[in-house]
Amino acid sequence: MSGPTESDSSIEHTMTVLWVVAGPVPTAALAVLAWKLEGRVSLPAAETPLTVPLLYVLAAGEWVATLVVEHLLKRQATSLAGRAGESGTGGAQSPLVRAQPVLLTMVVLLAALGTSIAVYGLMVFLLGFGFKAAAPFFVIAGAHLMAFRLRFRRFVESLGSVAAGAPPSIG
């Protein structure tokens, strides 16, 4: 296989659209909502100072959960990408086409887990801590989205090596 096929390009386009719709767009919308509400709504003063540190622990847990989900789905996608050549029925399909259901699931889950960190930021703001206390959660969510998008892109590119006979990287 010398280059990406039309179906591979279509799958990559779909994955990109899903990523943008499930990740950066809602994360940015939550950050803008909190920023615009600052000073426009009177929220009660926060009475529990442990709320923010506990939400930081939850955000760290999201990173760990995302790493686990990513690893499990990469293994499943690698298995699907390599298996169809053995079956004889779908040998002409590219690895991306064979692994498409898992890859699309992976994109949505990785983006949604990143966006959920931004929800913590909105919660901090709505609990009365102010935008300055909520802003780090939006930054953490953005970093999560960028880091896992880059890792996902490398994995998708490595699936192309399955057609050439090399094993894909799941790390």
pLDDT at 26: 94
pLDDT at 97: 87
Is 128 inside any structural domain?
yes
Is 168 inside any structural domain?
no
Is 148 inside any structural domain?
yes
Is 46 inside any structural domain?
no
pLDDT at 117: 94
pLDDT at 79: 87
Is 95 inside any structural domain?
yes
Total domains in the chain come to 1
DSSP code string of the chain: --S--HHHHHHHHHHHHHHHHHTHHHHHHHHHHHHHHTTTS-PPPP--TTHHHHHHHHHHHHHHHHHHHHHHHHHHHHHHHHHHHHHSSSTTS-HHHHTHHHHHHHHHHHHHHHHHHHHHHHHHIIIII-HHHHHHHHHHHHHHHHHHHHHHHHHHHHHHHHHTTPPPP--
pLDDT at 4: 58
pLDDT digit string (tens) for the chain, length 171 residues: 445 577 788 888 889 999 999 999 999 999 999 999 888 887 777 677 788 888 899 999 999 999 999 999 999 998 888 774 555 554 567 888 888 899 999 999 999 999 999 999 999 988 888 899 999 999 999 999 999 999 999 998 888 765 555 555 555
Is 170 inside any structural domain?
no
pLDDT at 166: 56
pLDDT at 85: 55
Structural domain containing residue 20: 6-41+52-163
pLDDT at 1: 43
pLDDT at 93: 77
